[in-house]
Homo-oligomer: A and B are copies of this chain.
Amino acid sequence: MNLEELTKLRRDFHKFAEAGWCEFRTTSIIAETLSKLGYEVQVGKAILDESSVMGRDESIVPNEIERALRQGADPKWIEKMEGYTGALAVLDTGKEGPTIALRFDIDAVEVSEAKDDKHRPYREGFSSVNSGAMHACGHDGHAAIGLGVAQVLAAEKDLLRGKIKLIFQPAEEGVRGGKAIAEKGILDDCDYLLALHLGLGLPTGKIAGGVAGLLCTTKFDVFYKGKASHAGVAPNEGKNALLGAANAVINLQAIASHRKGTSRINVGVLHAGEGRNVIPPKAMFKAETRGETEEIASYVYERAMKIVKSCASMYDLECIVKEMGKSTTAKSDGDLVDLICQVAEETREFNSIESFYNMGGSDDFSWMMKRVQEKGGKASYIALGADIEAGHHNEYFDFDEKSLLKGVVLMSQLVEKLTNSES
């Protein structure tokens, strides 16, 4: 696949952006392409441990499927998915050798894309047609790279040994899907596991063999329920859910730092109230806590729960907390990172190569890394530089498509190198 084809593919995914657990069209296209390339393909429910699925809203699935069908999804694949998204493609060389898994995440962010001529996707007609979903994190590129790699590997099958597993993961945003794939056990025979992420602050042509500082994180939604009352006539008869939530937001932000390292907290979304002159009877907010280690992350989460419950109590509110996603931390294996750097060097695609890059965010690929490492395999999470137009998750996000080909070249050569190594 050349750069033009990769670009076309990426732009198609970009235009029909689908948020986590709704990647029906995206999965359908991926599955069909892989299948045609000769891979054995499984989709949706078959590749997920259902009890580990997080942050999925069953109720919106029918509408999302309907839209996917309207936008070109193949009913045959939709049926196979059984309501869940994602794909696993296996290339068995038939020869003895290591099992190597590559993971590509495919979901969009829940952001509405900028409609503005200074934004290339809009200007060139491939901005998202699905309101509230936008590929603002580059997963459209990951999906395209994944298919590019699939094509190369299929073409070079005879040169390879062992087994190649390509995982197209749903719902990485909000760290909701990774654990379900890890827990399904489909990685348990892997000797090597790799993923890459575009951008992350590195320019096109730069690469880091391993990402450090993946933060443990918990994503949760809080629902407060109080009591409505007319704000002029009977202010004392209400139970003000907004006041409870406003206190929670500020005090969550004020959780003290931990002596042992980095922590984070954010309340990213809040909705409260019904009418201007009604004491707000309901509030909901979406929050996340993070920590450099499980100890720090637990400290922040426990403090958060204390605050959330105390603020409910202060305004006499019912309180429900729903866990929406969860990720752990994981470290890329040093010798695998060294190998990646060496291959990167050999590709001549990169003018700047470093071993570890500290990212400061979270990725539920960590669940898979941990699983593989626990079983004795090795894993790394690669940062693939790409110039970006605006920060990740920003409505003006866009990336330098030249990096797509670099990604394909790196990953294919890595697989070739690994397949012929001693596992």
Residues of B within 8 A of A283 (CB): 270
Within 8 A of B (CB), among A172-222: 173-174, 200-201, 215, 217, 219
Take A230-B391, A231-B266, A237-B259 as given contacts and tell me if A287 and B278 are in contact as well, using a CB distance cutoff of 8 Å: no
Residues of B within 8 A of A393 (CB): 228, 230, 274-275, 277-278
A286 at the interface (CB under 8 A from B): yes
**A side interface size, CB within 8 A:** 79
Within 8 A of B (CB), among A280-313: 280, 283, 286-288, 290, 299, 306-307, 309-311, 313
A342 at the interface (CB under 8 A from B): no
Asked if B273 contacts A269 (CB within 8 A), the reply is yes
Within 8 A of B (CB), among A112-140: 112
Cα distance A246–B248 when bound, in Å? Answer: 9
A14 at the interface (CB under 8 A from B): no
Cα distance A392–B232 when bound, in Å? Answer: 11
- Among the listed stretches A24-32, A67-75, A156-164, A359-367, which one makes contact with chain B, having 4 or more residues with CB under 8 Å of it? A359-367
A271 at the interface (CB under 8 A from B): yes
A242 at the interface (CB under 8 A from B): yes
A249 at the interface (CB under 8 A from B): yes
Residues of B within 8 A of A234 (CB): 259, 360, 391
Residues of B within 8 A of A228 (CB): 391, 393-395
- Chain B residue nearest in CB terms to A309: B313
- Chain B residue nearest in CB terms to A253: B254
Asked if A268 contacts B274 (CB within 8 A), the reply is yes
Asked if A269 contacts B263 (CB within 8 A), the reply is no
Cα distance A173–B275 when bound, in Å? Answer: 10
Contact of A235 among B229, B256, B274, B280 (CB under 8 A): B256
A111 at the interface (CB under 8 A from B): yes
Asked if B361 contacts A233 (CB within 8 A), the reply is yes
- Chain B residue nearest in CB terms to A360: B233
Cα distance A286–B111 when bound, in Å? Answer: 23
Residues of B within 8 A of A355 (CB): none
Asked if A280 contacts B276 (CB within 8 A), the reply is no
A83 at the interface (CB under 8 A from B): no
Asked if A256 contacts B236 (CB within 8 A), the reply is yes
Residues of B within 8 A of A268 (CB): 231, 273-280
Residues of B within 8 A of A272 (CB): 269-271
Q: How far is the CB of A176 from chain B (nearest CB, A)?
A: 10
Q: How far is the CB of A406 from chain B (nearest CB, A)?
A: 22
- Chain B residue nearest in CB terms to A271: B271
Cα distance A322–B236 when bound, in Å? Answer: 25
Within 8 A of B (CB), among A223-255: 228-238, 240, 242-243, 245-247, 249-251, 253-254
Asked if A246 contacts B250 (CB within 8 A), the reply is yes
Asked if B276 contacts A286 (CB within 8 A), the reply is yes
Asked if A232 contacts B250 (CB within 8 A), the reply is no
A264 at the interface (CB under 8 A from B): yes
Asked if B286 contacts A273 (CB within 8 A), the reply is yes
Residues of B within 8 A of A201 (CB): 233
Take A110-B274, A314-B251 as given contacts and tell me if A280 and B267 are in contact as well, using a CB distance cutoff of 8 Å: yes
* 13 interchain pairs, CB-CB under 8 A: A173-B277, A228-B393, A232-B288, A235-B259, A237-B391, A242-B270, A243-B250, A269-B274, A270-B272, A270-B280, A276-B324, A306-B314, A307-B314
Given contacts A110-B274, A174-B277, A242-B270, 6 further A-B contacts (CB under 8 A): A110-B275, A173-B277, A235-B259, A266-B279, A268-B275, A306-B313
Interface residues of A (CB under 8 A from B): 109-112, 173-174, 200-201, 215, 217, 219, 228-238, 240, 242-243, 245-247, 249-251, 253-254, 256-259, 262-264, 266-280, 283, 286-288, 290, 299, 306-307, 309-311, 313-314, 316, 324, 359-362, 391-395
